[in-house]
Every structure is written in C-alpha cells, then in structure tokens.
Amino acid sequence: MDRQPKRPFRSREWFAAPGRSDMAALYLERFMNYGLTPAELMSGRPIIGIAQSGSDLSPCNRIHLDLARRVREGIRDAGGIPMEFPLHPIFENCRRPTAALDRNLAYLGLVEILNGYPIDAVVLTTGCDKTTPAQVMAASTVDIPAIVLSGGPMLDGWHEGELVGSGTVIWRSRRKLAAGEIDEAEFLARATDSAPSAGHCNTMGTASTMNAVAEVLGLSLPGCAAIPAPYRERGQMAYETGRRAVEIAYEDLRPSQILTEAAFRNAIAAVTAIGGSSNAQPHIVAMARHAGIEVTAQDWMQAYELPLLVDMQPAGRFLGEHFHRAGGVPAVLCELLAAGVIDGDALTITGQSLADNLTGRQSRNREVIRAFDTPLMERAGFLVLRGNLFDFAIMKTSVIGEDFRNRYLSRPGAENIFEGRAIVFDGSDDYHHRINDPALGIDADCVLVIRGAGVLGWPGSAEVVNMQPPDGLIQQGIMSLPTLGDGRQSGTSDSPSILNASPESAAGGGLSWLQTGDMIRVDLNTGRCDALVDEAEIARRKQHIPSPPIPPSNTPWEELYREKTSQLADGGVLEMAIKYRGTSHKTPRH
C-alpha cells in the first residue's frame, strides 16, 4: 500500500511500536481467534471502528445490525479493517426512569473505547434520539476522525387512509380517547400502525431532528439523515460511509475541524426550518460544549426569526418518506443558503464545504419542502423565555396551533400575552393522580405546571411537560392548556409548552416556591414569564416552605449523574467532562 496517512495511525502504537514486539504480539494474538491474520493487522492499514448502537433493546437503531455488513464492505474496499463494538443501548420510549440518563452514560463508555483501543477512525451509527448527541459528544472529546451513519426513519405509518406518525399519533389519540371518540383497541391500532417497518421515529421528532443536525454539522455524507431505513439507498449510504471512513483516517479529518461555531449556527438555523424537536436545544448545547463552542440564548433567538419550511408532523402534515423524496436535509439547506442565513463555507466530512455539497439538490416537492419566501410559518424557532421562575426556558413556536393562538395569544391590545392561574404538580405521578380532580377547578384560564422533572429532580429530565387538560375540558373542546415545566417534552409533541426551565425546581429554581393559585404572566413579545408574586412573599416562601419532594437515587449511576450533570440550559452535560478535548492526541501508555 503506497498511500501514506497525513499523521501516523494511532493503531501502529499498539501493533508496531518500535522495540515493543512483545506487547504487539500480545495485542495481536487474540484478534486471530476470529480469523484475522497478523499480516492484515501489521500491514499499516487503518482500523475503522463501527460503534454499533443497534440491539434488541434499541429497536429504533436495530437496522444498523444489518447495515454494518455494508459498512464493513465499504471499509474493506477502501483498504481499512473494520472492528465493530457495542454502544450502551438507548431506547427513548422504553427506558425508565428516562433515556436521558443514557446519553451521558453512552458518551462516557464510547470515550473510553475510542481512547483506549487501537482505532484510527470511527463510524457512528445513529438513530434514536440520544444516540446521535451521545456519539458526537464522544467523538469530540476523543477527537478522532468520525463519520455519522444514520439508520433512517421507519416508513410512513398509515391508519385507515390517514398518515399516522410516531409519537404524534399517541398525543393526538390520547385526546381522542379522553374525548370519548375512540376506545382503547382503536388507540393501540393507531399506535402500532405508526410503526410499519425498521427504523426510528418517522415524524420530525428528536431522532429525525438530531440526525438532520448531524448532517448539517457536516458529520455525515450529504442526504444521509432522511433516507428511510428500509430503502435501498440506506444500504448504499452505509457502503459509501464505510468507504469515506477510511479516507478520513488517511486525511486525519477530525471533529475539531468540522464542529466549528459556523457549523453549530447552521444547525440551529436548520432546526427552525425543519420544525425540529425542542430536545435539539439541550443536545446541540451539549455537543457544542464538548466541541468547545458556546451557544447562547442570542443564537436561539436569531434562529427564532427564521421560517418553517418543512411540512412534517408534528408541526405539519407529512412524514419521513415524503421528506426524503422531496430532497431531505440538502434541499432545506439550499433554501437557507440562498437566503443567506447559513454559512456555506463550513467544512464537512466530504472534505468539501457545505455549499459544495448542495449543488443540484434543490427541493423536488414544494409542498413538502417550501421555498424560503413562501414558508409554512414565519418566525418559527424556539422562543427563549426568562423571568422570576427561571433564567432560561424555550417555547417551540412552530407547534402553536390556530386554536391555541386564538384562545391565548390574540387578545386585542395584548397580543402574544396571556395570564393564567397556576396548577402545580410535583412530577408526573402527581399529575396523573390529580389532573381530573374536580377540586382543582381547572378551566381554560389555567396554566399547568410540572416540577421535579429536571436533570436532578427526575433524575435525568423527563418528557412530561406536554400535559393534557382534564378530560372534562377536552370533552368541551379545549384540547390544550398552556403548560410549563422544568422537564422536557417529546420531540413528537404538538404542544407549545414552556420547557427545559433552568434552574429546575430541585436546583432551587423559581418553580420550587410556586404554588397552585399563583398567577403566571407570559409575554411572548418580551420573552418574559413571571409569577405575579411579590419579592417579600417569595422570600417568605423560600424561608418557611419546605422544598418539593424528589425521589432518592435508585442506582449508582443516578447518584453520580445527579452529582455531575448541569442544567438543561447548559446541555445537561457531565460538567467535569467538558475540559477533556482531543484525548486521542496522546495515546494511552502500554
């Protein structure tokens, strides 16, 4: 092989360290036991890791068990040696008390693997929500050449001639169930019909959002994010990704060269245009912080001004197949680039700029991916809020529906301002026990508040803020109330909640002293959200009223997580991990 790597492969330090043939023999021999030969491992070819996120416990990513075959073939054809290893499983819907605990755990595990084994570049197999940020964060910390391969969404779900999308169908059917329009058998049928094939959520939930974000950041080959899992193009993308992984090992193209300030600004802009998940906020902040980039409230507000271009559930109508056929992420980026709101010079994993990658990739269906100047909604990003209840929270404005806008945001002379009586719940059990209690007297002028749902309180931060109104209100046609909380909500939710409030109640944030009956005032014009409680009364409550209860840690990781993790505003990262960057520049000792 005459190709020379730009920098010597780190695997050489295991298998060809000068004067240490004794150690090399020890490292080499056990790889023989599944058929590798000494000649292969000593040939000087790069070893390409495949971080395998699929398993029976991670059904959203299970397609990667099949795709890995094509990744390996690509790696082999390009002259590399593949080595596949497991990532700690993450399954959003099933993991109790929340998969949020797994993001940082999978991150930690992957850092140790990439740092401690003879790997020269890695293919990150992404899909379900947190599998993307977890792996990108680790790639940043270690800073070895890394390329993202998305698993892709499921095929579109259909039920009785109607599109039914992952998660979104659950929230919508729950309301129908409460209204008495459907029974439980119909509820189950709608849910199962939304999941017709292998793949991750087919809505623009957190999974599709974060895979799109990885592509915008420049970490995957163009067009990768949106290809549905079962399409033939997915296998072809796996092959090309494997091939490219070998090239980036030779070129020494590292995350630190790609994950720049421009790349993150581009990603934040794209989240607005696609109607992306509210979970993009903590995940983008986390990835940026691990890359040494600061994302500010100002960055989100700049993106708030941008329009919604993609007509996909939960903000719109369609699902993943439509999005892919319309051109996927590159088509959205074409619009943003032409409008001058993203930086086309950002370097990507192709070795080319973002703009170079977009040639000829305009939208093929203007109904699904709109032109920048004929959007589905203007000013459709995350609105950042602050006030005496928290320093930071977001509201996803692309899911503010007609009904909500008319009821709460259209009072003459007070547009975009509403006031409501707080109904405060301590965690989701309390909400479920009491939401239908007539004694609470919940009416259309209430704001439902949940606390104890943040990184410390839950622990991990739970997707519980999109609380449904009491059944009685739903039966009267009031489908949503304003909600507010220190937890998150599912990216598939169509509820315009005030989310991710930081600091959370369990960290002594304002929600800790809020009481049922307090008036809350939200002004979307100024970005303020305040409880109308005077300073003296707040001080009195802080002194005399015990903090709301939070459950004790139930596992060692929960305890460690609570000790080390920052608030959602700061990405919910392991704060002590941020200072480690570029660990692969120093190979661990023998």
Binds 197, which of Mg ion, ligand FES, none (CB < 5 to 8 A, cut-off by type)? none
Binds 60, which of Mg ion, ligand FES, none (CB < 5 to 8 A, cut-off by type)? ligand FES
Q: Which residues contact 141 (CB under 8 A, 6 or more apart)?
A: 107, 111, 290, 577, 580, 581, 583
Q: Which amino acid is at 200?
A: H
Q: Which is nearer to ligand FES, 134 or 207 (CB)?
A: 207
Q: What does the alpha-carbon distance between residue 143 and residue 146 come to, in Å, rounded to a whole number?
A: 8
Q: Based on the shown chain and the rule CB under 6 A, indicate whether residue 156 belongs to the binding site for ligand FES.
A: no
Q: Based on the shown chain and the rule CB under 6 A, indicate whether residue 125 belongs to the binding site for ligand FES.
A: no
Q: What does the alpha-carbon distance between residue 135 and residue 106 come to, in Å, rounded to a whole number?
A: 8
Q: How far apart are the first and last CA of the chain?
A: 28
Binds 201, which of Mg ion, ligand FES, none (CB < 5 to 8 A, cut-off by type)? ligand FES
Q: Based on the shown chain and the rule CB under 6 A, indicate whether residue 166 belongs to the binding site for ligand FES.
A: yes
Please, what is the minimum distance in Å from the beta carbon of residue 519 to ligand FES?
37
Q: Which is nearer to ligand FES, 211 or 363 (CB)?
A: 211
Q: Which is nearer to Mg ion, 129 or 156 (CB)?
A: 129
Q: Which structure tokens are listed for 457? A: 């309180």
Please, what is the minimum distance in Å from the beta carbon of residue 206 to Mg ion?
5
Contact 367, 311 (CB under 8 A): yes
**DSSP string for residues in 489-518:** --TT-----EEEEES-GGGT-GGGT--TT-
Q: Which is nearer to Mg ion, 168 or 490 (CB)?
A: 490
Q: Which is nearer to ligand FES, 167 or 457 (CB)?
A: 167
Please, what is the minimum distance in Å from the beta carbon of residue 207 to ligand FES?
3
Q: Based on the shown chain and the rule CB under 5 A, indicate whether residue 156 belongs to the binding site for Mg ion.
A: no
Cα–Cα separations (whole angstroms), residue 326 to 198, 319, 373: 21, 11, 17
Contact 219, 255 (CB under 8 A): yes
Q: Which is nearer to Mg ion, 206 or 512 (CB)?
A: 206
Please, what is the minimum distance in Å from the beta carbon of residue 212 to ligand FES?
13
What residues numbered 172-201 form the site for ligand FES, per CB under 6 A? Answer: 200-201
Q: Based on the shown chain and the rule CB under 6 A, indicate whether residue 207 belongs to the binding site for ligand FES.
A: yes
Q: Which is nearer to ligand FES, 60 or 499 (CB)?
A: 60
Q: Which stretch binds Mg ion (CB under 5 A): 46-54, 214-222, 486-494, 524-532?
A: 486-494
Q: Which is nearer to ligand FES, 197 or 587 (CB)?
A: 197
Please, what is the minimum distance in Å from the beta carbon of residue 522 to Mg ion?
24
What residues numbered 59-78 form the site for ligand FES, per CB under 6 A? Answer: 60
Please, what is the minimum distance in Å from the beta carbon of residue 72 to ligand FES?
24
Q: What does the alpha-carbon distance between residue 255 and residue 114 come to, in Å, rounded to a whole number?
A: 13
For Mg ion, the binding residue among 13, 92, 143, 240 (CB under 5 A) is 92
Q: Is 99 exposed, middle or buried (0-12, 13-18, 19+ CB in 10 A)?
A: buried
For Mg ion, the binding residue among 202, 490, 565, 584 (CB under 5 A) is 490
For ligand FES, the binding residue among 13, 102, 120, 129 (CB under 6 A) is 129
Q: Which is nearer to Mg ion, 245 or 462 (CB)?
A: 462
Contact 501, 488 (CB under 8 A): no
Q: Based on the shown chain and the rule CB under 5 A, indicate whether residue 132 belongs to the binding site for Mg ion.
A: no
Binds 200, which of ligand FES, Mg ion, none (CB < 5 to 8 A, cut-off by type)? ligand FES
Binds 240, which of Mg ion, ligand FES, none (CB < 5 to 8 A, cut-off by type)? none
Contact 123, 164 (CB under 8 A): no
Q: What does the alpha-carbon distance between residue 78 and residue 230 come to, in Å, rounded to a whole number?
A: 25
Q: What does the alpha-carbon distance between residue 75 and residue 12 come to, in Å, rounded to a whole number?
A: 18
**HSE, side-chain direction, 13 A CA sphere, residue 298:** 2
Residue 422: which H helix or E strand, with range? strand 417-426
Q: Which is nearer to ligand FES, 92 or 518 (CB)?
A: 92
Q: Can you give the three-state secondary structure of 96-117, one letter per residue? A: CCCCHHHHHHHHHHHHHHHHHC
Please, what is the minimum distance in Å from the beta carbon of residue 297 to ligand FES?
28
For ligand FES, the binding residue among 5, 38, 40, 93 (CB under 6 A) is 93
Q: What does the alpha-carbon distance between residue 211 and residue 215 come to, in Å, rounded to a whole number?
A: 6
Q: Which is nearer to ligand FES, 166 or 272 (CB)?
A: 166
CA dihedral 337, 130, 404, 390 (to 10 degrees): -100
Total residues contacting ligand FES by CB under 6 A comes to: 10
Binds 490, which of ligand FES, Mg ion, none (CB < 5 to 8 A, cut-off by type)? Mg ion
Q: Based on the shown chain and the rule CB under 6 A, indicate whether residue 205 belongs to the binding site for ligand FES.
A: yes
Contact 263, 232 (CB under 8 A): no
Q: What does the alpha-carbon distance between residue 38 and residue 66 come to, in Å, rounded to a whole number?
A: 27
Q: Based on the shown chain and the rule CB under 6 A, indicate whether residue 92 belongs to the binding site for ligand FES.
A: yes
Q: Which is nearer to ligand FES, 200 or 254 (CB)?
A: 200
Total residues contacting Mg ion by CB under 5 A comes to: 4
**Buried b / exposed e across 22-35, counting CB within 10 Å, b at 16+?**
eebeebbeebeeee
Binds 93, which of Mg ion, ligand FES, none (CB < 5 to 8 A, cut-off by type)? ligand FES
CA dihedral 546, 547, 548, 550 (to 10 degrees): -120
Please, what is the minimum distance in Å from the beta carbon of residue 278 to Mg ion?
10
**HSE, side-chain direction, 13 A CA sphere, residue 318:** 19
Q: Which structure tokens are listed for 563? A: 């000790």
**DSSP string for residues in 65-93:** HHHHHHHHHHHHHTT-EEEEEEPPP--TT
Q: Which is nearer to Mg ion, 131 or 141 (CB)?
A: 131
Residue 523: which H helix or E strand, with range? strand 519-523
Q: Based on the shown chain and the rule CB under 5 A, indicate whether residue 500 belongs to the binding site for Mg ion.
A: no
Positions in the binding site for Mg ion (CB under 5 A):
92, 129, 206, 490
- List interacting residues with ligand FES (CB under 6 A): 60, 92-93, 128-129, 166, 200-201, 205, 207
